[in-house]
Structure 1
Amino acid sequence: MTAVSLLSSLAACLALFIAYRVYQAQALRLKAQKHGCQPAPRYKHKDPIFGLDIFMRTGDAITKNRFLIEHQKRYDTYGHTFEALNFGSHAIYSVHPQNLRAVWSTKAADWGIQPLRLHNMKPFCGVGFITTDGPEWKSSHALLKPGFHKSNISDFAPLEEHLRIMLDQIPKDGSKFDLQDWIFKLYLDMNTLFLFGEPIGMLSASPPPHAEGFLDAFQEGFNGCGMRIALGPLKVLLPTGGWLKACAKTHKFADVYVDRALEYREKHLAAKVGEAPVKQRTLLYNMAQQTGNRTVLRDQIVQAMMAATETTASLVSTVIHVLATHPPVFAKLRAEILAVGDESLDFDRLSSIKYLQNVITETLRLYPVFPQNNRVALKDTVLPTGGGQDGTSPIFAPAGTLFDTCFATLHRDKKIWGSDAEEFRPDRWDGGFTPSQYEFMPFGAGLRQCLAQQKATMETSYIVTRMLQEFKEIKSEDDRPWQAQVALTAKNANGCLVSLTPAT
């Protein structure tokens, strides 16, 4: 084929696609009118055919750690709800609580994540609560839920043991260091202990032999899933060989623990011993009491590790960052913690330290660990608001529509939070104001609300309390503001640079 004929063919294909897009837009308008809907403000694309410009801007913002800033600018420009193109398909961006309520609750059956995630992530983490909708999701959720019962997450002795290892190693002579790195090491050990029954040895620098290279493989596999989702149809440009090897290595690591759990299942359940011993009340052992399917257990445990990666660690690090940069808040919280005395730090005791809970809640408001989320319309549906000239008419969302929301923007909306929405002010939670479930969504909402919410907040409470018992001053050594580095979760791209003054 000559260059001229090739160009002619490409031009003909483009013309057909444009004609199809015109037809599609007309059909969408007719359907919207039939449902009494009006369009929302339209993003001003430089590429009006595929909308690749918004994809390029988003990619550039992610690499520069300005992803949340870019989202905020879009909402500042177009309002609470606007429409755009996503690789030539329809997309709706919204932080309006009524729309969030519809997508996450009242019309949740119309929206899902499986079309977006399963085909992109299945080679890495299989079929589970992160990748599926409907009966498959319900089955996965039911399998995981017992592992997060209070009886399985209320023992802080393992956390204290590993925290003590960390405290014995970090600088306590007033020198500057990045505490975030240490907290992430702590939580790699804590997460693998909770999931598999064995820490990976990050703090002790003594990982088990079968863990060699696992963390790198897991991160490569995890990142590969994110890249494939972000690139959409362009994911075919990504090489697959290295990614599939990383997936296989991750599976090999998880299978070691799955086989142990299945061995426990055969010995203990067959003998009808009853409840698992305390040392075996890990998430994987809890699931093994319900199923002996090896693939199901591996898929669920890999997905659980994906959900746990950098979540509680990010929250703990950010809480300490804001305490270090707000000395009056630090002083008030430490005084309240010291007033508790040396009593046991259990669930009830930690929950009763009101200002501590206010500090954690305010941190989740301004710096949510999960700052952004997507859904896909599984069928033609309607969002309740955002359309028309006054922005109050319903919006039509045809099947396949991408719904994109940003909790970080929602949590800074001055119409909800007042003129001081950008300020870190824990005392705001003492007043009579209580946001609705769809105005404050740090752990999502509805049926898919994060199962580990209580585990994360209570462990954060415990670590922050212990840090303030151990140190009379945690001083910030960084003038830079908190800057979001966003993957599945968000953490401070600048770390948590501090110096510590011991209490004794």
Structure 2
Amino acid sequence: MELTSWQQIFLIIASFVIARRILPSFRYWRSVVRYGCSPVPWYPHWEPVVGYDLYRKMKAAKEGNRLDSFIAEILSKYGNKKTLMSLIWGLPTLISSDHRLVQVILTTKMDDFVVAPIRKVANEPFFGQDVFVSDGLAWKMNRKFVQPLLRKSRFADLSCLEKHGNRLFMQLPADENTQVDLQRLFTFMYVDVATELVSGCSMNSLVPEGREKAKEFLATLERVNKGVQRRIMLAPVLKFASRDCEFEDACKQVHQHFEDYIDKEISGDTSGQQEGRPTLVRDALCVSQDRSFVRDQLIGFFLPMHSSSVFTLSDLFFQLARAPEVWKALRNEIVAQRGVPLTFELLKSMTFLQAVIRESIRLLAPADRIIRMCLKDCMLPCGGGSSGDDPIYVMKGTLVDFRSSVLHRNKQFWGQDAELFRPERWLEGNIRPKWEYVPFGGGARICPAQQMILTHYAYILSRFVLEFETLENRDPCFEFVAEFNLSKRSRNGVQVALRRDFATCARRGRKTRP
């Protein structure tokens, strides 16, 4: 009997479902029984082929500024409070906030849970072959290349940050009633800092002669960020999506910008550079003469150095503007050191300052998600059963979506006030986090620029505390409204008013913008 066209279509769909769902499911359950594992609770999809129902709910939660609470809710309601299995774009996805799982995945099982299959498709047109998108031997080579560039002598030298910090303070109003968006100013300051660390020549966005060029570069970078974000969202079905010509053009422009730095260094042109100061491009060219490789490594340093630093520093001031008692306590500690140079060692020794920074990135972490793909069938020691303590069997191709933003609000560990910004918790002696606190990831793939970034936060915050008596919120919306790009940032910026410490200004003879 000849099949009709509709019957043929139905047969194809049925065959697809059997191949993608039923056969792997049979193999999974056989392995679970064989190795004595427990199943992970499943999200109750009404559309169990692609998982579009959950994707749509997550998208709505994201747009409604409640994604973290939504993830915590489904973990508690449908999972075992910490772990849940689901489908995202047809891929089996393990959603978890269990610190034991992330510890295993980022350490002993690191080679079995990789990033390249996820990140390469979305990020390779921009990042190329840098450490961010590579695994295995390629990652080890890239990491070996990057680590010497971030030696302590580089981030302990705060002269570059001091110069651009001084320029930022000149942009701040002397009038305490004038509102200013610190997130916008930090964006300019960090593009100057990052370009000077990379090439020795700042973009000078905080002075009139460099402002327009910097705005053009930042606009191009924003198009890249949006394009990468789109590609991440569509990664499993990206090959079916339309070509993004705007993204491709923006990538070419940013690549050319960094290739110009390389050309300038190779030609021996040192105009605009401070004599004797090391640069990343010079150090990189001493290790490799491969222009594309060096360019990719420079971009891999620049983007997190700029974007992550801007938004995490902005988040810190966002929270401080809503906690005047914390600002007052900071002043008590930091003003006591007035007149003493703000060195790396001094900044590390100020306990309340360090507690404030730790607490800020606990609530708004630079790496609020850690995503890996399982490279081969394997067992993990926990995550299964009703308690989440039983071993689980994970099949090749499974995504692991670890939510550190949920882990960092776990009330069982952090206390019933885990949602609150309360730096004192770090000084009370009852909090000793290990893998319960992973704002920069963990294991061998922990952010290599972590110490540099934390030192910068401490320095900039200390300078603000010395310069200003008060930091007042001027945003009518008290809550943090997230806008997602490559980093999570405040959709409303950081709208504040500042009252200067005129004793500091008089002592330094500083001029301020009227």
**Residues 84-103 of structure 1: matches in 2 within 5 Å?**
84-103=86-105
- 1:203 paired with 2:203, answer no
- 489, 492, 497: which is aligned to 2:490? 492
- Structure 1 residue 279: Cα displacement: 4.5
- Match 1:162 to one of 152, 161, 164: 164
- Does structure 2 conserve the Cα–Cα contact (< 8 Å) formed by 1:316 and 1:460? yes
Q: CA deviation at 1:294?
A: 0.6
Shift of 1:381: 1.5
Instruction: Decide whether the 8 Å contact of 2:204 with 2:214 is kept in 1.
Output: no
- Where 1:399 maps in the other structure, the secondary structure is coil
Cα displacement (A) at 1:243: 2.3
Do the aligned partners of residues 120 and 312 (structure 1) sit closer, same or farther apart at CA in structure 2, a change above 3 Å counting?
A: closer
Aligned-partner SS, 1:91: strand
CA 1:5–1:338 in structure 2 vs 1: closer, same or farther (change >3 Å)? farther
SS at match of 2:30: helix
Task: Mark the CA change 1:188 to 1:6 in structure 2 (over 3 Å): closer, same or farther.
Answer: farther
Tell me: CA distance 1:205–1:67, structure 2 relative to 1, closer, same or farther (3 Å).
farther
* 1:117-142 CA distance string (max 9 Å, x none): 11332222211111010111111111
Aligned to 2:191, the other structure's residue is in SS state: helix
1:405-439 Cα shifts (integer Å, max 9, x gaps): 11111011011112221122111111323434310
SS at match of 1:117: helix
Asked if 1:19 is matched to 2:18, the reply is: yes
Which whole-Å CA distance do the structure 2 matches of 1:406 and 1:186 have between them?
A: 30
Matching residue within 215, 218, 222 for 1:219 = 222
1:480 matched to 2:499: no
Decide whether the 8 Å contact of 1:144 with 1:283 is kept in 2: no
Q: Measure the CA separation in 1 of the matches of 2:285 and 2:230.
A: 32
Letter in 2 for 1:488: L
Q: In the alignment, is residue 247 of structure 1 matched against residue 235 of structure 2?
A: no
Contact 2:374 2:399 in 1 (8 A): yes
1:376 aligns with 2:398: no
State the 1:6 CA deviation. 6.0
Q: CA deviation digits over 1:350-409, x for unaligned, max 9? A: 111111001101111111122112001111112211212332211111111100011111
Q: Which residue of 2 is the match for residue 273 of structure 1?
A: none
Gaps spanning 5+ residues in structure 2: where? 503-514
> Is the Cα–Cα contact under 8 Å of residues 205 and 212 in structure 2 kept in the other structure?
no
SS where residue 307 of structure 2 aligns? coil
Equivalent AA in structure 1 for residue 217 of structure 2? F
C-alpha separation in 2, matches of 1:8 and 1:219 = 48
In 2, the alpha carbon distance for the partners of 1:245 and 1:296 equals 20
**Aligned CA distance change for structure 1 residues 277 and 200 (closer, same or farther; 3 Å):** closer
Q: TM-score, normalised by structure 1?
A: 0.92
Q: Structure 2: which amino acid aligns with 1:310?
A: S
Counterpart amino acid of 2:31? K
Post-superposition offset of 1:212: 8.0
Q: Is residue 231 of structure 1 aligned with residue 231 of structure 2?
A: no
Q: Which residue of 2 aligns with 1:411?
A: 408
CA RMSD, Structure 1 to Structure 2 (Å): 2.3
- Whole-Å Cα distance in 2 between the matches of residues 241 and 442 of structure 1? 34
Among 453, 460, 463, the alignment partner of 2:460 is 463
For residue 494 of structure 1, what is the amino acid of its counterpart? N
Distance 1:11 1:435, change over 3 A: farther
Q: 1:425 aligns with which of 406, 422, 433?
A: 422
Q: Residues 176 and 499 of structure 1 are in contact (CA less than 8 Å); yes or no, is this contact kept in structure 2? A: yes
Aligned to 1:270: none
Q: Distance in 1 between matches of 2:437 and 2:286?
A: 35
Aligned AA (2:435): Y
Deviations 1:13-47 (A, max 9, x none): 22112222112211111122222211111112121
Residues 392-407 of structure 1 mapped to structure 2, 5 A cutoff: 392-407=389-404
Change (3 A) 1:207 1:13: farther
The answer on whether the counterparts of 2:100 and 2:435 sit within 8 Å (CA) in structure 1 is yes
Residue 278 (structure 1) shift: 6.0
Contact 1:172–1:499 (CA under 8 A) maintained in structure 2:
no
Aligned length: 492
Cα distance change of structure 1 residues 488 and 35 upon mapping to structure 2, 3 Å threshold: farther
TM-score by structure 2 length? Answer: 0.90
Q: Which amino acid aligns with 2:16?
A: F
User: What is the identity, as a one-letter code, of the residue corresponding to 2:50?
Assistant: F
Aligned-partner residue type, residue 316 of structure 1 = L
Is the 2:404–2:439 Cα contact (8 Å) retained in structure 1?
yes
* Greater CA drift, 172-181 or 90-99: 172-181
1:237–1:200 Cα change, 3 Å: same
What is the identity, as a one-letter code, of the residue corresponding to 1:192? T
Report the Cα distance in structure 2 between the residues aligned to 1:212 and 1:338, rounded to whole angstroms. Answer: 35
Which residue in the other structure is 2:185 paired with?
182
CA offsets 1:169-193 (integer angstroms, 9 cap, x no match) = 2223121221211112111111121
- Cα deviation for residue 103 of structure 1 reads 0.5
The farther-off stretch of 209-218 and 361-370 is 209-218
Quote the residue 1:442 is aligned against: 439
Query: C-alpha separation between the residues in 2 aligned to 1:454 and 1:150?
Result: 8
Q: Report if the CA contact (8 A) 2:196-2:203 is conserved.
A: yes
Query: Following the alignment from structure 2 to structure 1, what is the Cα–Cα distance between the partners of residues 442 and 321?
Result: 31
Question: Is the contact between residue 383 and residue 394 of structure 1 (CA under 8 Å) also seen in structure 2?
Answer: yes
Query: For residues 210 and 185 of structure 1, what CA distance do their matches in structure 2 show?
Result: 11
Tell me the SS of whatever aligns to 1:440: coil
Residues 43 and 153 (structure 1), Cα distance of their counterparts in 2 relative to 1, 3 Å cut: same
Q: Is the 8 A contact 1:262 1:292 kept in 2?
A: no
Worse-superposed segment, 73-82 or 406-415: 73-82
Structure 1 residue 245 displacement after superposition: 1.8
- Counterpart-to-counterpart distance in 2, 1:216 and 1:5: 54
Displacement after TM superposition at 1:281 (Å): 1.5
Moved more, 425-434 or 128-137: 425-434
Q: Determine the C-alpha separation between the residues in 2 that align with 1:324 and 1:89.
A: 42
What amino acid is aligned across from residue 151 of structure 2 in structure 1?
Answer: H
CA distance in 1, matches of 2:218, 2:85: 39
* Aligned residue in 1 for 2:508: none
Question: Any conservation in 1 of the 2:199–2:280 contact (CA below 8 Å)?
Answer: yes
Instruction: Kindly provide the CA deviation profile for residues 431-479 of structure 1, in whole angstroms up to 9, marking residues without a partner as x.
Output: 3234343100011110001111111111111111111111111111124
Distance 1:450 1:121 in 2: 17
Deviation at 1:277, TM superposition (A): 8.3
Whole-angstrom distance in 2 between the partners of 1:454 and 1:13: 54
Q: Percent of aligned positions with the same letter in both sequences?
A: 29
